[in-house]
Structure 1
Amino acid sequence: MSSDYAKPYSDFIGAFEKLFLIKSNESVEDVCNIITNVLISKYQITKNQLSSIILKAFLYNYASRENYIKILKNIGFDNEVLSNLTFPLEDSVEFIVIHD
Structure 2
Amino acid sequence: MIAWMSWTMPTAIFFAVIAAILLVMTVYEVVSPCTERKGFLPIATTRGDRLFIGLLTSAYIHLMFLGLSEVSLWIALGISVVWLCILLRWG
TM-score by length of 2: 0.30
Give 1 or 2 for the bigger CA radius of gyration: 2
